[in-house]
Every structure is written in C-alpha cells, then in structure tokens.
C-alpha cells in the first residue's frame, strides 16, 4: 500500500498527515505556523515530514500552500499571508527529506480531495469548488485534472468582479465575490443588520454582549439556528451572492457538480437553500438543459492535506 504525506500550511497551523490510497488519514502531526519567517516555516515543514516519515514508509510529499504556485509545482511565487516570495519550496523540502515533493495551491488541493474522495467523488470529469472561509477560495477540475492555468494563478474564483465600484477587496480591486460571499461578508451583513434593526437581532446581540462590533461568524451561525431574524437574513444574503457566483461559473465551465466548502457550510440550508434558489433563477433564463447540483463539501478541514497527499501520489 502506497502511503504519502500531505502538508496543509494554514495561517495559524501547519497540519501534516500520512494518507493512504483510499484517502484515509492514518497519522498526523501539527505545528504552529511561523508565518513571518520563511526560513523557520521551511524547516517546520521539514520537521513534520521527518516525524511522519520516521514512523511510516512514505513515497512522496504534497504541500498545499495559500498562494500562487508556478506551473512546475515547485515554487511559491507569492503568498498573501505568509512571507514567501519566489520560494523554491519543492527543492528545499526534497533535499532535506530525500523524498519527491509537489507543491499545490491549498484551495486546489482541497478541491482535488473533494473530487477524488468527497462530495464530488461520483463525478469523473469536472467540478468547481468554492471554499467560503475568511475569504473565498476556488478550485476547478476539468477533464479529470486540476486547472492551474498558464501562470499558476487560475481558479482565483473569489476575485471575480461581481459589482463594478463595489466593496473594496484585499486584492486591490472593488466588488470581488469575496466581498459578498465570504465569512467576513457574513459578519458585515449581520453587523449592519444588527445596527439598523437591533430589535430583530436580539439573539445575536445577546451572544455578542450587546456590542455590534463584537459579532463574529460563529455567533451568526448559532443565532441563525436559534431563529434570530437578522442572522438568518445575513445567511440568505450571503447565499444569494454565492448562487449568482455559481451561476456565472456554470456559464463558463458547465461542470458536473458544484461543491461549496468552508466553515459556513455548517449552517446547512440556511446558506444552501438561498444559494440554490439564486443559482437556479439565474440559470433559468439559459434554457432547460440539466445543470450541476450544488452540494456541500464532505471532508472538512483535512481536505487540503488529503488532496495534497493524493497529488503527490499521482505526481
Ligand atoms: Zn479581490
């Protein structure tokens, strides 16, 4: 049985796992992410790989990192939240561990895991995944393979422009999908609603100690499940934007299935019902052919690790 290691480099944790060919994680190692020191971060990755490969016979390493990865899957060109610029990560980790290494964008790795083992495992050709976290990440599979683009920056789906001259985005543009369909957007909608109509946000405000500015994403989820009107509307607004974004993606790519991942998916139909409605309405004008279903991701946080490990196996 071929085992590989997947390493997921998050903003706060480096999570590594030994993954078998069925996608099961059979051992794990974790460290805090030293995000401001590229040299220490490199060595942290080497350390977790050595720890796992000492106990298990592994044949390769896949690393998922938030950032732009070059076409040869070896260099992190730019990482927004980590101090990496043109980082030759593959060469460094391969030399230090003696194992073959592939580097992949983290959202691509998570999408690949859902395609192979998760919500899209019944699809054999194509899927698009949107991951709703603090921002919005994306991954595209076409013809049974990940779409990386000519310059390694494909599938930055969170930065599709939804509204000209809309909300300012961290990428420097305005009106990106990320500003309307992310966890940050959910909090913004909920805070605005609680400010405008505090009497309809009593449950949410109670959780936040009465402070609109103290409202967090998890509070919106809890309050929405408990029936708070403003919290439910925040999810409905997020869902509508998500649905419009999904419809646009279908116009371009027509995949077999659309997967929605990230923490907010725990809200279930509070998010997915308005998303599906907006998606179907946007596509209703385009004829009656069957369209891709919108399904929640199944693998959760380990998806990045599992996908990176599988890509290393298939390298
Ligand atoms: Zn943007």
> pLDDT per position in the chain (315 positions), as tens?
799 999 999 878 999 999 999 999 999 999 999 888 889 999 999 999 999 999 999 999 999 998 888 888 889 888 777 778 898 999 999 999 999 999 999 999 999 999 999 999 999 999 999 999 888 999 999 999 999 988 888 999 999 999 999 999 988 899 999 999 999 999 999 999 999 999 999 999 999 999 999 999 999 999 999 999 999 999 999 999 999 999 999 999 999 999 999 988 889 999 999 999 999 999 887 777 788 999 999 999 999 999 999 999 999
Ligand 1 centre and the CA of 190: distance in Å? 21
> Which pLDDT belongs to residue 119?
98
> Which pLDDT belongs to residue 286?
74
What angle, rounded to 10 degrees, do the helices at 229-253 and 217-225 form?
110
Ligand 1 centre and the CA of 278: distance in Å? 22
**Range 4-112+302-313 has CATH code 3.30.420.40:** yes
Contact status, residue 244 vs residue 115, Cβ threshold 8 Å: no
Listed in sequence order, the residues at least 6 apart from 69 whose beta carbon sits closer than 8 Å to its beta carbon are 75, 76, 77, 103, 104, 105, 148, 152
Ligand 1 centre and the CA of 34: distance in Å? 25
Phi, psi angle pair for 168, to nearest 5°: -65, 135
Ligand 1 centre and the CA of 169: distance in Å? 5
Ligand 1 centre and the CA of 66: distance in Å? 15
> Which pLDDT belongs to residue 266?
87
3 state DSSP class of 109: helix
> Which pLDDT belongs to residue 128?
98
Ligand 1 centre and the CA of 200: distance in Å? 32
> Which pLDDT belongs to residue 63?
97
> Which pLDDT belongs to residue 80?
73
Closest CA to 93 of 38, 28, 147: 38
Ligand 1 centre and the CA of 41: distance in Å? 26
Using left for φ > 0, alpha for ψ between -120 and 50, and beta otherwise, residue 27 falls in beta
Ligand 1 centre and the CA of 177: distance in Å? 7
The domain segmentation of the chain, as residue ranges, is 4-112+302-313, 123-297
Listed in sequence order, the residues at least 6 apart from 290 whose beta carbon sits closer than 8 Å to its beta carbon are none
**Range 123-297 has CATH code 3.30.420.40:** yes
3 state DSSP class of 172: coil
Domains 4-112+302-313 and 123-297 share a fold: yes
> Which pLDDT belongs to residue 1?
78
Ligand 1 centre and the CA of 174: distance in Å? 7
Ligand 1 centre and the CA of 171: distance in Å? 4
């Amino acid at each position: 049985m071929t085992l590989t290691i997947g390493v997921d480099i998050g903003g706060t944790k480096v999570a590594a796992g030994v993954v078998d060919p069925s996608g099961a994680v059979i051992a794990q190692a974790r460290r805090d992410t030293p995000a401001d020191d590229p040299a220490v971060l490199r060595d942290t990755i080497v350390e977790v790989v050595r720890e796992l490969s000492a106990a298990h016979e592994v044949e390769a390493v896949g690393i998922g990192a938030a950032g732009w990865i070059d076409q040869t899957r070896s260099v992190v060109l730019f990482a927004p939240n980590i101090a990496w610029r043109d980082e030759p990560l593959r060469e460094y980790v391969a030399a230090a561990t003696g194992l073959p290494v592939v580097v992949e964008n983290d959202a691509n790795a998570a999408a690949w895991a859902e395609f192979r083992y998760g919500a899209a495992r019944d699809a054999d050709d194509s899927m698009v995944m949107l991951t709703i976290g603090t921002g919005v990440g994306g991954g595209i599979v076409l013809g049974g393979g990940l779409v990386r683009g000519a310059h390694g920056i494909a599938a930055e789906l969170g930065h599709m422009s939804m509204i000209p001259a809309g909300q300012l985005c961290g990428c420097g543009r305005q009106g990106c999908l990320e500003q309307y369909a992310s966890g940050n957007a959910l909090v913004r909608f909920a805070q605005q609603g609680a400010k405008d109509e505090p009497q309809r946000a009593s449950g949410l405000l109670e959780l936040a100690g009465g402070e609109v500015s103290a409202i967090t994403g998890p509070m919106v989820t809890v309050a929405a499940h408990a029936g708070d009107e403003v919290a439910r509307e925040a999810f409905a607004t997020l869902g509508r934007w998500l649905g419009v974004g999904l419809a646009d993606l279908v116009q371009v790519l027509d995949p077999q299935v659309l997967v929605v991942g990230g923490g907010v998916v725990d809200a279930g139909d509070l998010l997915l019902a308005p998303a599906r409605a907006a998606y179907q309405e946007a596509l209703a004008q385009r004829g009656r052919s069957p369209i891709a279903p919108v399904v929640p991701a199944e693998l959760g946080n380990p998806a990045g690790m599992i996908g990176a490990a599988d890509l290393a196996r298939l390298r």
